[in-house]
């Protein structure tokens, strides 16, 4: 236990991230089931309006910030150092700090349920609904402070991974030899460190408005409510790529391995990923087409949004071309990667429909857009992450997940998600807005809502297969060996799970696919030829994280001394951290 709390080993931190994110994923999923049960029939009274508003706010917030992002972080942590031939990340203690801030931030947000005051302003918290005037309770305080705390975790991890990928590469691992997953991680982290400051500014304004009576978002004082929308979506749209690019990276690893063919057009896939990350900055106002930006802004943002479909389409065709002419093995990981393509295409096409501002005037804020985000984030990001779990689980635990259960999981989930999310397109087109806790039978969407609810429960059933599979395989699964799949990248050259130091000697990389190349890389010895010096653990990152969450808790409780005491603890722990003799 103590070893896990003080660990600075990227592999242990990766597992902590993965397990924690999965638990939050289940909590967010449970919230979704309640939402769906409430909407299973018209004018249902299972939950109150107040509870429903909390449920959908926390479902969105949880899935974005506490499930998908940290699940990606689990892979960054575990896999990136292995793929680039490093012994750890650049800043191991900062890495531990990121995890603990994320964990405590997630618990802090969810602790709001204990006070019956979970955030209820929607996951994009539009002003002025979230101002003190219209949301006087502590619900939004939890949200404003919780997101700032989680932002700290994301920013620290973002800088850490950028430095790690740029500086810690093994000799010969040139940028254009990086595995695509590592490349997409780099792009993702660059977006993180540039996008999170934007939402932080927005949140600090809101915090000052709520706590200290400033008037950044006060119309009476000359403010403009669209300021928040611009700030939020200037972060929020890049955030979508923060969520999807890691999954695209995973898919770009899984497809070649199980097609026994190198990725088709490696350079183009890398460049299009970077281009998506860059263009993601120029499209934010497409979330605001109904807010009355005027014909010029609508036309420009419509056009930039359409342009972003081009690099996305390129990726999809390159993936198809990767499989073309290969020898496809339908492992669970491969099925999820192919499921990603099949479902992400649907989300991408509905995205093109939103990119046309007049069409979007009928679709935005309806179930059509709910269908769109779920095809992108569930059909896309979540399936990509499951592909990663089935692919790298053997590397992380030394044991294979059961393939038969994995395939059942895939097919049941595929059926469930399409029953849950496809009808939502029509529910929206037939006039049902999102975020309503009740709807009238005369809208004619009751049957489709029921189908959607059934689909959501089928997804839940598919997850039971997955949980059972992990629980069983972690202890009794088939032993994996170094390389169960015949992968091309460096992580498959070392034992599963890897020793604490990862590589007995730092490998010399001669090609982009070191294990598939004709010019074989030098074999890595089984035993280290000389002693390897690894840093010991530290508890100061945990203490610093406690200080941060103490400050947020004091603020919610409106108790100044808690804020000051926690702030002092934070400063003290950073001081001790800085002067800690780390080289034990």
Partner 1 sequence: MGALLATTACGGPFPQSTLHPAGDLGFEIDRLFRLIVWLAAGVFVIVEGLLIYVAIKYRARPGQPPPPRVHGHTLLEIGWTLAPAVILIIVAVPTIQTILRTDGPAPAGALEVSVIGHQWWWEYRYAESGVVTANELHLPVGRPVVLSMTSADVIHSFWAPRLGGKRDVIQGRTNRLRFTPDSVGVFLGQCAEFCGESHANMGLRVVVEDSASFAAWLVEQQRPPAPPDSLSAAAREGLEAFRRIRDPASNTCIICHAVQGVSGGLMGPNLTHVGSRSRIAGDMLPNTAEGLAQWLRDPLAVKPGSKMPNPGLTEPEIAALVAYLQSLR
Q: Least distance to partner 1 from the beta carbon of 412, Å?
A: 19
Q: Least distance to partner 1 from the beta carbon of 579, Å?
A: 49
Q: Is the Cβ–Cβ distance between 258 and 390 less than 8 Å?
A: no
d(CA 57, CA 99): 23
Question: Applying CB under 8 A, does 4 fall inside the site for partner 1?
Answer: no
Residues 223-252 that bind partner 1 (CB under 8 A): 223-226
Question: Applying CB under 8 A, does 29 fall inside the site for partner 1?
Answer: no
Residues in contact with partner 1, shown as a per-residue x/- string from 502 to 541 under the rule CB under 8 A: --------------x-------------------------
Residues 127-166 that bind partner 1 (CB under 8 A): 128-129, 134-135
Question: Applying CB under 8 A, does 310 fall inside the site for partner 1?
Answer: yes
Residues in contact with partner 1, shown as a per-residue x/- string from 64 to 103 under the rule CB under 8 A: ----------------------------------------
Residue among 37, 46, 111, 268 that touches partner 1 (CB under 8 A): 268
d(CA 314, CA 374): 22
Q: Least distance to partner 1 from the beta carbon of 200, Å?
A: 23
- Of 9-17, 206-214, 328-336, 385-393, the window that binds partner 1 (rule: CB under 8 A) is 328-336
Residues in contact with partner 1, shown as a per-residue x/- string from 392 to 421 under the rule CB under 8 A: ------------------------------
Question: Applying CB under 8 A, does 578 fall inside the site for partner 1?
Answer: no
Q: Is the Cβ–Cβ distance between 144 and 109 less than 8 Å?
A: no
Question: Applying CB under 8 A, does 107 fall inside the site for partner 1?
Answer: no
Q: Tally Cβ neighbours within 10 Å of residue 529.
A: 8
Residues 426-485 that bind partner 1 (CB under 8 A): 426, 429-440, 442-445
Burial 306-338 (b: 16+ CB within 10 A, else e): eebbebbebbbebbeebbeebeeeebbbbbbbb
Residue among 148, 154, 188, 355 that touches partner 1 (CB under 8 A): 355
Length of the chain in terms of residues written: 584
- Of 14-22, 164-172, 293-301, 464-472, the window that binds partner 1 (rule: CB under 8 A) is 293-301
> For the chain, how big is the Rg over CA atoms in Å?
24
Question: Applying CB under 8 A, does 215 fall inside the site for partner 1?
Answer: no
Among 484, 487, 250, which Cα is nearest to 383's?
250
- Of 59-67, 162-170, 360-368, 471-479, the window that binds partner 1 (rule: CB under 8 A) is 360-368
Torsion of CA 378, 381, 384, 388, to 10 degrees: -120
Helix 332-355 vs helix 226-259: crossing angle, to nearest 10: 150
Q: Which residues pair with 399 in a beta bridge?
A: 479
- For 269, residues 6+ apart whose C-beta sits below 8 A from its C-beta are 180, 252, 263, 314, 315, 318
The three-point CA angle 131-137-140 to 5° equals: 55
Question: Applying CB under 8 A, does 23 fall inside the site for partner 1?
Answer: no
């Amino acid at each position: 236990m103590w070893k896990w709390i003080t660990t600075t080993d990227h592999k242990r931190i990766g597992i902590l991230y993965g397990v924690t994110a999965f638990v939050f994923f289940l909590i967010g999923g449970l919230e979704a089931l309640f939402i769906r049960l409430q909407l299973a029939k018209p004018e249902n009274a299972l939950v109150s309006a107040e509870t429903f508003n909390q449920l959908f706010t926390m479902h969105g917030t949880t899935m974005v910030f506490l499930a998908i992002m940290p699940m990606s972080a689990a892979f960054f942590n575990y896999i990136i150092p292995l793929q680039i031939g490093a012994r750890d990340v650049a800043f191991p203690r900062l890495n531990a700090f990121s995890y603990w801030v994320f964990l405590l931030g997630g618990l802090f947000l969810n602790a709001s349920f204990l006070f019956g005051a979970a955030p209820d302003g929607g996951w994009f918290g539009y002003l002025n609904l979230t101002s003190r005037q219209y949301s006087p309770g502590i619900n939004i305080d939890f949200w404003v402070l919780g997101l700032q705390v989680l932002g700290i975790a994301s920013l620290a991890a973002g800088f850490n991974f950028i430095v790690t990928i740029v500086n810690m590469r093994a000799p010969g691992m040139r940028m254009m030899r990086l595995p695509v997953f590592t490349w997409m991680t780099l792009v993702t982290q660059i977006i993180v460190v540039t996008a999170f400051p934007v939402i932080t500014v927005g949140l600090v304004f809101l915090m000052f408005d709520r706590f200290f009576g400033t008037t950044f978002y006060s119309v009476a004082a000359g403010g403009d409510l669209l300021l928040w929308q611009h700030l939020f979506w200037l972060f929020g749209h890049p955030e979508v790529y923060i969520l999807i690019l890691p999954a695209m990276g995973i898919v770009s690893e899984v497809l070649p391995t199980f097609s026994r063919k190198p990725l088709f057009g490696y350079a183009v896939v890398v460049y299009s990923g970077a281009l998506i990350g860059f263009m993601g900055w120029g499209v934010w106002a497409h979330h605001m087409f109904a807010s009355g930006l005027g014909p010029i802004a609508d036309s420009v943002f419509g056009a930039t949004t359409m342009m972003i479909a081009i690099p996305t389409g390129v990726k999809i065709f390159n993936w198809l071309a990767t499989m073309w002419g290969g020898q496809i093995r339908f492992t669970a990981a491969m099925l999820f990667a192919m499921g990603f393509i099949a479902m992400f295409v649907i989300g991408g096409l509905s995205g093109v429909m939103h990119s046309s501002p007049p069409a979007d005037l009928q679709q935005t804020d309806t179930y059509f857009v709910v269908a769109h985000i779920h095809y992108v984030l569930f059909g896309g990001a979540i399936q990509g992450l499951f592909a990663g779990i089935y692919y790298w689980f053997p590397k992380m635990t030394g044991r294979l997940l059961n393939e038969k259960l994995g395939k059942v999981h895939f097919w049941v989930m595929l059926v469930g998600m399409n029953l849950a999310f496809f009808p939502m397109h029509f529910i929206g087109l037939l006039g049902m807005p999102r975020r309503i806790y009740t709807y009238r039978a005369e809208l004619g969407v009751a049957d489709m809502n029921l189908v959607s609810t059934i689909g959501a429960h089928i997804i839940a059933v598919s997850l039971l297969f997955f949980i059972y599979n992990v629980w069983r395989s972690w202890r009794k699964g088939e032993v994996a060996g170094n390389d169960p799949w015949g992968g091309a990248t460096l992580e498959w050259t070392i034992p599963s799970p890897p020793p604490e130091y990862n590589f007995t000697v730092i490998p010399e990389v001669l090609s982009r696919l070191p294990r598939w190349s004709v010019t074989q890389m030098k074999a890595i010895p089984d035993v280290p030829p000389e002693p390897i010096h690894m840093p010991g653990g530290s508890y100061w990152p945990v203490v610093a994280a406690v200080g941060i969450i103490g400050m947020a808790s004091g603020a919610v409780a409106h108790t100044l001394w808690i804020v000051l005491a926690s702030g002092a603890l934070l400063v003290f722990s950073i001081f001790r951290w800085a002067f800690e003799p780390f080289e034990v």
